[in-house]
Amino acid sequence: MAHLILASSSPRRRELLQQLGLEFEIFSPDIDESVLAGESVTAYVQRLACSKAQVVLDQFPDAVVIAADTSLGVDNQILGKPESKQHAFEMWQRISGRKHDVFSGVCVRTITEKSSIVVRTQVEFQQLSLNDMESYWATGEPLGKAGAYAIQGIAARYIPRIEGSYSNVVGLPLYETVQLLQSVKALN
C-alpha cells in the first residue's frame, strides 16, 4: 500500500479518513488561506486543497498526499471560520431559516499525478433565535469551524435536512476521496 499522508490538522478529517480503514500519517501544511479577489467558493476550496497537497508533497515526494478544504457558500460569498462571537452571529443570521451550500475541495497528489474534485452539499438550517445563538456560542463548538457550526456536534439540532454527502459537511467527502485515491492508483 502507498505511503499516505493527510495534509490536515483537522481531527474531523482524521476521524473520517480512519473510517475507511486506511493507514496514514498527518502533516499539516502552513499556507496562505486568503481569498483572492473575485474568487468563487469552488475555485477557493480547490485551490487551497491543491496548495496544501503540493506543500506536503514537496517535503515527502514518495507519498500519496490527501488534502482538503471546506467552506460555506451563501449568496456567492465565502463563509469561513468565525473570527469572533459577533462574526459567528453574523454568519448564523445569513444561514438562519434557509439553505446554504457546503463545498469541499479534495486533492490527491503523487509525484507524477494529481486528481482533484469539488463536492457540494446543500444544508438547511432552521430559523435561529438570539437565544439559540447565545446558547450555541457558549458551547465553544463554533470556534474553528467553517460557517461557525459542526454538523456532527450540537449544531445537528438546528439542521432538519441535507442534500448530498454528510461527510462532505464534516470536512472530507469519503466516497469522492476514495475515487481520487483509486484514480492515482493508491487504492485498488
> Tell me, what's the pLDDT at 76?
84
The answer to whether residue 128 scores a pLDDT higher than 80 is yes
Alpha carbons 101 and 61: distance in angstroms, whole number:
34
Give me the active site residues, please: 69
Residue % of the chain over a pLDDT of 70: 99
> Tell me, what's the pLDDT at 188?
67
List, for residues 74-94, the tens digit of each pLDDT value: 988 899 899 999 999 999 999
The three-state DSSP-derived secondary structure of 89-111 is: HHHHHHHCCCEEEEEEEEEEECC
Instruction: Please answer whether residues 56 and 63 qualify as being in contact, where contact means their C-beta atoms are separated by less than 8 angstroms.
Output: yes
Q: What angle do CA 23, 24, 28 make, to 5 degrees?
A: 160
Q: Which of 44-58, 126-140, 174-188 has the lowest mean pLDDT?
A: 174-188
140: left (phi over 0), alpha (psi -120 to 50) or beta: left
Cβ density class 127-155: b for 16+ within 10 Å, e for less: ebeeeebeebbeeebbeebbbbbbbbeeb
Alpha carbons 181 and 176: distance in angstroms, whole number:
9
The answer to whether residue 99 scores a pLDDT higher than 90 is yes
Tell me what the mean pLDDT of segment 3-27 comes to: 95
Computed over every residue of the chain, the mean pLDDT equals 95
Helix or strand holding residue 59 (H, E) = helix 41-59
Alpha carbons 84 and 137: distance in angstroms, whole number:
10
The answer to whether residue 123 scores a pLDDT higher than 70 is yes
Alpha carbons 170 and 34: distance in angstroms, whole number:
21
Tell me what the mean pLDDT of segment 158-182 comes to: 97
Q: Cell digits for 107?
A: 486533492
Domains by residue range for the chain, with CATH:
4-183 (3.90.950.10)
Residue % of the chain over a pLDDT of 90: 92
The answer to whether residue 1 scores a pLDDT higher than 70 is no
Give all strands (DSSP E) within 43-144, no chain letters: 64-74, 77-79, 99-109, 114-124
